[in-house]
Amino acid sequence: MRRYIVAGNWKMHKTAEEAVNLALALIPLVSDVRSVEVVLCPPFTALPSVGEVLNGSGLFLGAQNMHHEPQGAYTGEISASMLLPLGVSHVILGHSERRHYFIESDPQIREKVGAALQAGLTPILCVGETLAEREAGETESVVSGQLEGCLEGIELAQAEDLVVAYEPVWAIGTGKTATLEQAQEVHALIRAKLTQFFGVDLAGKIRIQYGGSVKPENAAELMAQPDIDGALVGGASLDADSFAAIVRSV
Ligand code: PGA
């Protein structure tokens, strides 16, 4: 049985103080839900304070990005070794906004995945096609290519160490969700690809999240699909009630 995992990607929203208030509002609404791993991913500046608030709550703390080197002359960057002492356990890598606005490539993301695993952080590796790619019938080749570029040669000690998030770029922040069939189809493809890299046993246990306009109204039916094991939530994670409703509906 794969344990569901729901992560809130707060993106570039919330000051440290606002983030603490959101976490404080959220904890009582979800901390009794044991069947779901809940991860909050505030901006870097809020990680220390949100980490303190989450201590002992059963919720997990995630970062939204990291550099692959442990330290060095990389102005503006943050390494795994800086995240770990804050209580960070997960890190979103290769989000489509990083790929699009910051021109992150598969080889760079692959280095980050390797560095995160080495440091003991769980990468939430994001993949997904753009609208133009879907309309051109390239969804399968794009997603397969991203998985190959980001995971090939990566070694995994146990399935819990890696989470993959399928986020169709056209569904992010647009209010458009993939249909259940579209989402399940790509999730099954991702699991087949993971089987190539890691074997049937591990691949059967790796969690694959869906992301892209997940809301309380559509979360349950998405999560009921055989290969959907959780959600990566953007907009709806900024409101305690709607994020808690998603966690509870899962
Ligand atoms: P959204 O964002 O839920 O606002 O569509 C999802 C994401 O970017 O992870």
Tell me if 9 CB under 6 Å of ligand 1: yes
pLDDT, tens only, 108-147: 999 999 999 999 999 999 999 999 999 999 999 999 999 9
List the catalytic residues.
Answer: 95, 167
Do the Cβ atoms of 231 and 6 come closer than 8 Å?
Answer: yes
pLDDT, tens only, 16-52: 999 999 999 999 999 999 999 999 999 999 999 999 9
Say how many domains are in the chain: 1
Long-range contacts made by residues 187-195, C-beta under 8 angstroms, separation at least 24? 187/225, 187/227, 187/228, 188/226, 188/227, 189/140, 189/143, 189/144, 190/127, 190/143, 190/147, 190/164, 190/166, 190/227, 191/227, 193/143, 193/144, 193/147, 193/148, 194/147, 194/151, 194/164
Residue 98 is part of which domain span? 4-249
Tell me if 218 CB under 6 Å of ligand 1: no
- pLDDT for position 1: 82
Beta bridge partners of 123: 91
The answer to whether the predicted template modeling score (pTM) of the entire model surpasses 0.85 is yes
Q: How many CB atoms are closer than 10 A to CB 133?
A: 18
What CATH number is given to the structural domain containing 25? 3.20.20.70
Ligand 1 centroid to residue 104 C-alpha, Å:
18
Do the Cβ atoms of 24 and 249 come closer than 8 Å?
Answer: no
Ligand 1 centroid to residue 64 C-alpha, Å:
12
- pLDDT for position 222: 97
Ligand 1 centroid to residue 212 C-alpha, Å:
5
Whose Cα sits closest to atom 9 in ligand 1? Answer: 234
